[in-house]
Structure 1
Amino acid sequence: MTWSLPEPMLTVAVDSPKLPAGWAAEPKWDGFRAAVSTDAGTVVLRSRRGTQMGPAFPEIVAATSQLPDQTALDGELILWDWEAGRLSFEQLQNRLRRRGAAAARAAERWPAQFVAFDLLRLSGTDITGWPYMRRRAALEELFVTRALSAPWVLCPSTTNPATIHEWLTWGSVRIEGVIFKGLNDPYRPTVRGWRKYKTRETTEAVVGAITGPLTAPSTLLLGRHDTAGHLQYVGRTTTLTRVTAATTAALLTPATSGHPWTGWTFSAGWGSRQQLEVTLVTPDLVVEVAVDVARDVGGRWRHPARFHRARPELQADEVARRPEPPV
């Protein structure tokens, strides 16, 4: 019987970073969720949504020679930007588009790492039915006995609340939060059996457009000026409450000619092809929002921002500048 990579086990968001009894925690990385398997020389490197990523990351494919045959790992593809001193999702995303010689050159300049946080198959044995703590012990033993080295990285795991608290201070290097996993739980494909707590930061942005009617906007499209002074799109809020929509609408004015986003299109979310129907507004209202640390190319927020309050006392040019996209 042919073995194939199972669909990934998934998470459900929680509002508390408190470690539940009988659970372990791992850092939440700012990268691509990925699974890798090697079987009689055939290597599969697959994204959460099933995209084959092996051609874009030849260094990961080559490194499977360090693994026992018929072995599979679940984890996160990450890329460390040594100059910036943080994880770089932007460069990782740039690499995803490259193939052949271009992918090989990118691997030399911007090498990726595979942070392994679960072991799904070991030397031909499917171990997804084992409890997490047994799979974890086998994963740690694999790293020791095979002396796995770069690009392989063993994801930390802890049952110490103090360690979790320390991880949650690492937002500046793009650690997004923590994942909680039941010590006695098997690996259940497609099931949202893990818990995810994401750290968020409060910041400001300029409202450049809305969805929904101008009298009761549904969401706000947010922008920041780049170093040249052009207003660039950085993200969208979650759906506003009825009260928030009404109070915010009173501060918005319809756009006149010359709006910097005239003719632009906006997707419904990161990775989505659905286009939003938007109404442009005069880009002079500053709002305060809570965002997580996940960023797209050019500093766009990959996940919706939570609206906190309007800041009509601030000028648009007082908002932090959008970072320049990577070369």
Structure 2
Amino acid sequence: MTLYPPVEPMLAQAAEALPGPGVLAGGAAYEQKFDGHRAILFTPAMPGGRVVVQTRRGSLVQDRFPDLVAAAERQLPGGLVLDGELLVWDAEAGRLSFEGLQRRAAARGCTAPGLAAGWPAYFVAFDVLQLDGVELLARPYRERRTLLEDLFTDHALAAPWTLCPMTTDPATAREWLESWTDVSGVEGVVAKGMNQPYRPSVRGWTKVRRRDTTEAIIGAITGTLARPQLLVLGRHDPAGRLRAVGRTVPLHPEQARQVGEHLAAPGPGHPWEGVRFASTWGSRDVLDVTLVRPDLVAEVSADRAVDRGGVFRHPLRFQRLRVDVTARDVPGFGAGAVAAAG
């Protein structure tokens, strides 16, 4: 059977620690997790067909990535379906850029080639779902991985194509999690069973993001002062303005009690008066918040997904209050998950 878009991608379940080899079917494979957009790429099985790039949600976006399409037409064989991650390189800044990727993903028509010049696209392939028109979903991961590696070798694939790094050594995977996540664009590790088939829409893999402890100022909450539900956090920019950097996941009852004992209503002139806060990063849904006096510091656990402006893209996890430090000790806006209070 030949695969046609849309294909539901196989998914990963978030976890706090990497599973050991004995937990996964046939042993474990560990892959570096890149901070991009999930994509499935199709090359035409017959002459005259077109290259298709599908998002995780099934949208077709090949018109927004003409540079990647041109490279696929030149370098990839027909009848191929690759699963991987779309990344964008900011040529001026010399780094991977999630913001540039978002701009490219939203590009239309004649603007796409111009954006491609400043933010060229790359595709990190971590699975092959079809090869030479033969569908591979039922094959075990170990076999699909061998076919993927052979594809890169046989066709001498280079940029914009990248083979996702993989290891079967847990120690190497832990090293990746602890050190490679310092590299721009790498945010964690995904664990897969060597004998696993590819199961569309099933959360059969395990993903672990590196998380660091840092501090931020509590500027608003949802819920009540006595029993806050989640915290909206901020940091001061160089001009001294309190800028929102993210929100926490819902607090546990004991955490809510602890924070509620120290919260106070704001005085006049709160820096966030009239500000609306999105419920999640990039969402149009708005939180119903209560402003609080912005002098209480929270220690939080954060992953490495931070936009260029300094806003955390994923919810933060409250660890404890830092009543021993002041707002002046908190890292500045744009510092990311860098702890500074000590």
TM-score of the aligned structures, taking structure 2 as reference length: 0.89
1:4 equivalenced with 2:15 (yes/no): no
Distance 1:45 1:194 in 2: 23
Partner residue, 1:321: 332
Render the CA deviation track for 1:47-80: whole Å, top value 9, x for unaligned.
2122333232221111111111121110011234
Distance 1:137 1:209 in 2: 51
SS at match of 2:309: helix
**How many corresponding residue pairs?**
325
1:253 equivalenced with 2:264 (yes/no): yes
For 2:147, the aligned partner's letter is: A
SS at match of 1:115: strand
Distance 2:96 2:332 in 1: 20
Partner residue, 2:97: 88
> C-alpha displacement at 1:81, in angstroms?
4.7
Contact persistence 2:3–2:130 (CA under 8 A): no
For 1:185, the aligned partner's letter is: Q
CA RMSD of aligned residues (A): 2.0
Distance 1:297 1:279 in 2: 27
Partner residue, 2:121: 112
Indicate which of 148, 161, 168 corresponds to 1:159.
168
Partner residue, 2:340: none
Partner residue, 1:276: 287
Contact persistence 1:180–1:196 (CA under 8 A): yes
Render the CA deviation track for 1:226-278: whole Å, top value 9, x for unaligned.
22222111111111111111121121111233222222222221343322111
Indicate which of 22, 37, 44 corresponds to 2:52.
44
Partner residue, 2:339: none
Render the CA deviation track for 1:134-177: whole Å, top value 9, x for unaligned.
11111111111112121110001110123212211122224211
> C-alpha displacement at 1:95, in angstroms?
2.5
1:149 equivalenced with 2:158 (yes/no): yes
Distance 1:63 1:284 in 2: 53
Q: Which moved more, 1:40-49 or 1:206-215?
A: 40-49
1:54 equivalenced with 2:59 (yes/no): no
Q: Which runs of no fewer than 5 residues in structure 2 stay unpaired?
A: 337-342
For 1:15, the aligned partner's letter is: E
Q: Which moved more, 1:73-82 or 1:186-195?
A: 73-82
Moved over 3 A (4+): 80-87
Partner residue, 1:64: 72
TM-score of the aligned structures, taking structure 1 as reference length: 0.93
SS at match of 2:21: coil
Distance 2:91 2:206 in 1: 30
SS at match of 1:36: strand
Contact persistence 1:19–1:159 (CA under 8 A): no
Render the CA deviation track for 1:68-111: whole Å, top value 9, x for unaligned.
11211100112345776653222222322223343212212221
Contact persistence 1:286–1:311 (CA under 8 A): yes
Q: Which runs of no fewer than 5 residues in structure 1 stay unpaired?
A: none
Partner residue, 1:20: 21
1:243 equivalenced with 2:243 (yes/no): no
Partner residue, 1:134: 143
Distance 2:39 2:329 in 1: 39
1:171 equivalenced with 2:181 (yes/no): yes
Q: How does 1:192-203 map to 2 (within 5 A)?
A: 192-203=203-214
Contact persistence 2:311–2:334 (CA under 8 A): no
